Amino acid sequence: MSAKRTAQLILGGLGLAALAGIILLVTVIIQPRTDDAPQSPPDAAETTVEASPPPSASTATATPTPSPTASSPFGFAPQTPAEEAAVEAARVMTTWDPAEDIDPTASEARAKHLMTSERAAQISVSDRGTADPEWMRAYRRHSVSDPTALIVPGGEGNTITVNVTWDWVTPDGSRDKGKGARTFYFTMTDGDTPKVADYTWSGAF
């Protein structure tokens, strides 16, 4: 091969290489850069943080505590000797057997041993009887009363309040809820063996 032909081949190869370089350079220049492209704003649904509303006053309303009532006493069991004596007196005076007791006053005489001699002397048992429907129904069914006595909160000094409700129990053991209630107000003596110095009551019979 002549030197001239060799030179032509070398120049042709250099030309092709230069042309390829130019094409590559143009491609790089006109191709958009991905890091320079404008970014789409984030979706508002993905970036919005909803704050929880503050609790309203209605959600913090406390549940009211029931108050004592005659039909559903809100009381407690006796905790002192005076309260125990008062509850025992209230139970004795609301334990009735209408087949034997002429009327509800008969039970008061059975509680004399829990009273002072002065107060016991004032007990008077009626001989008139009663036509109260609850009493007469218990009489016909041969029922006796089974009282539940609770101390009512709020007593002051030697005064003790006792609320009593009762069931009527027949000879076969069936029970009927009594329709009434009694609230006793006892004045108790001091000492290791308290006694009823005085009392009053309100309610049924």
Question: In this structure, what CATH number is given to the domain that contains residue 113?
Answer: 3.10.450.230
Determine the pLDDT at residue 3. Answer: 56
Question: Is residue 160 over pLDDT 60?
Answer: yes
- Of the ranges 30-44, 67-81, 183-197, which is most confident? 183-197
Residues 6+ apart with CB under 8 A from 128: 102, 103
- Using alpha carbons, list the distances in angstroms from residue 97 to 24, 61, 88, 196: 120, 48, 17, 24
158 belongs to a structural domain: yes
Q: Could you give the CA distance from residue 83 to residue 161 in angstroms, rounded to a whole number?
A: 9
pLDDT for 204 equals 83
Per-residue confidence band for 128, with pLDDT thresholds at 50, 70 and 90: confident
Q: Is residue 57 part of a domain?
A: no
The whole-angstrom separation of Cα 75 and Cα 186 is 16
Q: 26-30, 117-121, 173-177, 189-193 — which is least confidently predicted?
A: 26-30
With respect to residue 9, please indicate whether it lies within any of the assigned structural domains.
no
Domain that holds residue 139: 81-203
Specify if 18 maps to a domain: no
**Domain presence at residue 58:** no
Indicate whether 13 belongs to any domain: no
pLDDT higher than 80, residue 19? no
Q: What is the pTM of this model?
A: 0.64
Whether the per-residue pLDDT at 48 is higher than 70: the answer is no
Residue 41 falls inside a structural domain: no
* Number of domains the chain contains: 1
User: Does some domain include residue 51?
Assistant: no
Q: Which residue has the tokens 């001989």?
A: 127
Who's near 186: CB < 8 A, 6+ residues apart?
A: 86, 89, 90, 159, 160, 161, 162, 196, 198, 199
